[in-house]
A and B are shown apart, each in its own frame.
Chain A
């Protein structure tokens, strides 16, 4: 079975500052990893995903995440926060394409002007 832990249910950053949202996973086999974003009153949309190959993954809106097997982590970063990045972010893990995906509890990002 797989699981995912997001550290920090709320994160606040100043506009222009680095965004770092933490995600650790537990998996018995190499996982697939995802970050989704949820803007207010909307569904989730995919930011980026890691499947195989390059461990640094680039997504939309300047976000990226690095798969670190030794640390079982998949942290999300963005060099410079923008007000429009205020949203809730979910990390998710899957084992194979034939099994369901497990979502973390989410991290709400607040961007302070």
Chain B
């Protein structure tokens, strides 16, 4: 089945370490997104990419960077992790085009803990 996968699923790291979270999709979608989920705050958009050469900051991009290596791959990096970046991170994809309405498909999430 066409899918959105995230690696790793769980990660514990220490303050100051560099971390990369990876997302791959076999849906053939051109748009990809990174969100973080915190209890009571819902999903907040970190970065999004409407195609390989188009990357945009979301509402909480400070402390994060991304790389769109190919249409199917979108990685999120924490250059120097800090404890308040402890959260559940989701990758999502969507397909552009008329009448697509930006319906998004989510990966299973990565639980990141920064000690």
**Among the interface residues A34, A36, A97, which one has the most CB atoms of the partner chain B within 10 A?**
A97
Interface residue A113 (Cβ < 8 Å from any Cβ of B): no
Q: What is the size, in residues, of chain A's interface with B at 8 Å between Cβ atoms?
A: 23
Q: Which of A42-50, A66-74, A77-85 is found at the contact surface with chain B?
A: A42-50
Of all chain B residues, which has the CB nearest A94?
Answer: B102
Interface residue B12 (Cβ < 8 Å from any Cβ of A): no
**Chain A residues, CB < 8 A from B97:** 97
CA distance A49 to B100 in the complex (A): 11
Closest Cβ–Cβ distance, residue A78 to chain B (whole Å):
21
**Among the interface residues A34, A43, A90, A99, which one has the most CB atoms of the partner chain B within 10 A?**
A43
Interface residue B69 (Cβ < 8 Å from any Cβ of A): no
Q: State whether A42 and B102 are in contact (beta carbons under 8 Å apart), knowing that A90-B42, A100-B45, A105-B42 are contacts in the complex.
A: no
**Chain B residues, CB < 8 A from A100:** 33, 45, 48, 58, 102
Q: In the complex, are the beta carbons of B42 and A46 less than 8 A apart?
A: no
Q: State whether A43 and B101 are in contact (beta carbons under 8 Å apart), knowing that A90-B42, A103-B42 are contacts in the complex.
A: no
Q: Taking beta carbons and an 8 Å cutoff, which residues of A are in contact with B? A: 9, 32, 34, 36, 41-46, 49, 51, 90, 94, 97-101, 103-106
